A and B are shown apart, each in its own frame.
Chain A
Amino acid sequence: MSFRTLLLGAVSTLALAGLAHAETLTIATVNNGDMVRMQKLAEDFTKKNPDIQLEWVTLEENVLRQRVTTDIATKGGQYDVMTIGTYEVPIWAKQGWLLPLDGLASDYDADDLLPAIKDAVSYEGKLYASPFYGESAMVMYRKDLAEKAGVTIPEKPTWDQIAEAAKKMTDKSTETYGICLRGKAGWGENMALLTAMANSFGARWFDEKWTPQFDQPEWKKALTFYTDLMKEAGPAGASSNGFNENLALFQTGKCGIWIDATVAASFVTNPKESKVADQVGFALFPTGGVENHGNWLWAWNLGIPAGTQKAEAAQKFVSWATDKAYTELVASKEGWANVPPGTRKSLYANPEYEKAAPFAKITLQAMNAADTSKPTVKPVPYTGGQFVAVPEFQGIGTAVGQQFSAALAGSIKVDQALQSAQQLTTREMTKGGYIK
Chain B
Amino acid sequence: MARAVKTRTKLTFTIIGWTIGFLIFFPILWTFLTSFKSEGTAIATPPQFLFFDWTLENYHEVQSRSDYGKHVMNSIVISVGSTLLGLLLAIPAAWAMAFSPTKRTKDILMWMLSTKMMPAVGVLVPLYLIFRDWGLLDTRIGLVAVLTMINLPIIVWMLYTYFKEIPGEILEAARMDGASLAKEIVYVLTPMAVPGIASTMLLNIILAWNEAFWTLNLTAANAAPLTAFIASYSSPEGLFWAKLSAASTMAIAPILVMGWFSQKQLVRGLTFGAVK
Contacts and interface: CB of A to CB of B under 8 A. Distances in A.
Interface of A: 26, 28, 31-33, 36, 39-40, 55-61, 63, 66-67, 70-71, 74-79, 175, 242-244, 247-248, 251-252, 267, 273, 275
Interface stretch (B86-94, B125-133, B150-158, B259-267): B125-133
A248 B43 contact: yes
Contact of A252 (B43, B131, B138): B43
A26 B124 CA distance: 22
Given A57-B224, A75-B132, A76-B132, A243 B231 contact: no
B271 interface: no
Given A58-B232, A70-B128, A273 B39 contact: yes
Interface of B: 39-40, 43, 45, 64-66, 124-125, 128-129, 131-132, 137-138, 216-217, 220-222, 224, 228, 231-240
B240 A244 contact: yes
Contacts of A28: 220
Contacts of A56: 66, 221
A78 B137 contact: yes
Chain A CB within 10 A, most for which of B39, B43, B217, B239: B239
22 contacts: A32-B237, A33-B238, A39-B65, A40-B64, A56-B221, A58-B65, A58-B232, A59-B231, A59-B232, A60-B231, A60-B234, A63-B234, A67-B220, A76-B131, A78-B137, A78-B138, A78-B221, A79-B220, A244-B240, A251-B239, A267-B237, A267-B238
Contact of A76 (B65, B137, B216): B137
Contacts of B231: 59-60, 63
A243 B240 CA distance: 13
Nearest to A73: B125
Given A55-B221, A56-B221, A76 B128 contact: yes
Given A56-B221, A76-B128, A248-B43, 6 more contacts: A55-B220, A55-B222, A59-B232, A63-B231, A74-B128, A244-B236
A58 B66 contact: yes
B65 A70 contact: no
Mostly helix, strand, loop or mixed at chain B's interface? loop
Contacts of B137: 76-78
A33 B235 CA distance: 11
Given A36-B65, A70-B217, A78-B137, A60 B239 contact: no
Nearest to A67: B217
Contact of A36 (B138, B220, B236): B236
A31 B236 contact: yes
B237 A26 contact: no
A78 B232 contact: no
B238 A57 contact: no
Return the 5 tightest CB-CB contacts between A and B, nearest first.
Answer: A55-B221, A58-B232, A78-B220, A60-B234, A32-B237
Nearest to B240: A244
Contacts of A78: 137-138, 220-221
A56 B237 CA distance: 18
A105 to B, nearest CB: 25
Given A31-B233, A56-B221, A70-B217, A248 B239 contact: yes
A39 to B, nearest CB: 7
Given A60-B234, A76-B128, A26 B221 contact: yes
A233 to B, nearest CB: 20
A33 B236 contact: yes
Contacts of A275: 40
A338 to B, nearest CB: 12
A26 B238 contact: no
Contacts of B125: 70, 74
A234 B74 CA distance: 44
Contacts of A26: 220-221
A191 B40 CA distance: 30
Contacts of A70: 124-125, 128, 217
